[in-house]
């Protein structure tokens, strides 16, 4: 990481007249790139070969870096108790994860869901900086939301290519704007499962939040759950293909559909 500033929970480090720094002169370092896997293998008796049974992430992504006062602000490098209190109140939170983004050209669209722990760095018995440990909600980072939209007519298909580094599946937020009254049936070629909605109305927008398993409508509909099969569409990424072909059934009403998701990226700081 060569950046001097970052954003967290809607504010920048520079708003506190602080910058990213280092208090040692160490040369090279090894950092995680979001691909630290643990492998499950078994060596049969009498064999020198280890059979591969799978792999998984053993822990979330974490890293440590240091911050100090901006050199252009004030003659002293020391941190006042009030500044330390404000910084730790901002960073070391108990209300869950918040978006963290390094202000760096090659990472401008990349963020982590994160929180921090903090230790003070002293020189001559006085605080000159903080050592921050970043703790995230996953082993990898995300790219900012990617909306992908398509206007479907009955019986047509649309190809969506997942941009993620990681194989597996992501639940996007799906917004369906209906252009008629009737039903919606949408199937993904990679899992052959179908989203089924009945009783939809013209100009109604239905939102499917797969991550949180929430369905909502732009209309006041108490009966909406009764008209949904509770299959939330996924965007799937396999070793062989990233192409998700979504097909609207021939007996569905025309609709505009927008898929909103955060592609996964394996990178570190």
Residue range 173-219, pLDDT digits in tens: 999 999 999 999 999 999 999 999 999 999 999 999 999 999 999 99
Estimate to the nearest angstrom the gap between the alpha carbon of 240 and the chain centroid.
Answer: 23
By C-alpha distance, which of 144, 166, 162 is closest to 57?
166
> What is the pairing mode between strands 126-136 and 141-143?
unpaired
As to burial, measured by CB atoms within 10 angstroms (0-12 exposed, 13-18 middle, 19+ buried), residue 257 is buried
> What is the C-alpha separation between 73 and 50, in angstroms, rounded?
59
End-to-end Cα distance, the chain = 5
Estimate to the nearest angstrom the gap between the alpha carbon of 257 and the chain centroid.
Answer: 21
The single-letter DSSP state of residue 254 is: P
Q: Which two tokens stand for residue 187?
A: 């199937």
Which pLDDT does position 50 carry in this prediction? 54
In this prediction the pTM is 0.75
55: how many CB neighbours lie within 10 A of its CB? Answer: 11
The single-letter DSSP state of residue 155 is: T
Report all structural domains of the chain as residue ranges with CATH numbers, in order of start: 6-142 (2.40.30.200), 145-265 (2.60.120.860)
The predicted-structure confidence for 63-118, as pLDDT tens digits, reads as follows 888 999 986 555 677 888 899 999 999 998 888 899 999 998 888 899 999 898 88
> What is the C-alpha separation between 6 and 28, in angstroms, rounded?
22
What are the CB-based long-range contacts (under 8 Å, 24+) for 209-214? 209/171, 209/173, 210/171, 210/172, 210/173, 210/174, 210/234, 211/171, 211/173
Q: Which two tokens stand for residue 70?
A: 């901006």
Residue 37 has pLDDT above 60, yes or no: no
């Amino acid at each position: 990481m060569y950046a001097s500033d970052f954003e967290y929970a809607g504010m920048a480090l520079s708003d506190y007249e602080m910058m990213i720094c280092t208090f040692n002169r160490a040369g090279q370092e090894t950092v995680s790139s979001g691909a630290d896997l643990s492998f499950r293998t078994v060596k049969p008796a009498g064999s020198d070969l280890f059979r591969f049974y799978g792999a998984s992430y053993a822990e979330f992504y974490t890293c440590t870096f240091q911050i100090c006062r901006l050199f252009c602000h004030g003659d002293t490098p020391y941190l006042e108790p009030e500044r330390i209190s404000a910084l730790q109140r901002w960073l070391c939170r108990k209300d869950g994860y918040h978006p963290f983004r390094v202000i760096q050209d090659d990472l401008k669209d990349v963020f982590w869901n994160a929180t921090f722990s903090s230790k003070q760095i002293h020189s001559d018995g006085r605080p000159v900086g903080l050592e921050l440990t970043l703790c995230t909600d996953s082993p990898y980072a995300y790219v900012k939301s990617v909306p992908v939209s398509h206007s479907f007519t009955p019986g047509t298909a649309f190809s969506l290519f997942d941009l993620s580094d990681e194989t597996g599946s992501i639940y996007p937020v799906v917004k369906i704007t209906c252009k008629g009254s009737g039903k919606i049936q949408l199937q993904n070629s990679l899992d052959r499962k179908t989203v089924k909605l009945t009783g939809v109305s013209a100009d109604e927008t239905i939102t499917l939040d797969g991550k949180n398993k929430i369905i909502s409508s732009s209309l006041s509909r108490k009966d909406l759950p009764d008209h949904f099969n509770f299959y939330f569409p996924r965007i799937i990424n396999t070793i062989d293909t990233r192409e998700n072909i979504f097909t609207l059934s021939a007996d569905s009403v025309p609709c505009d559909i927008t898929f909103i998701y955060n592609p996964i990226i394996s990178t570190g700081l």
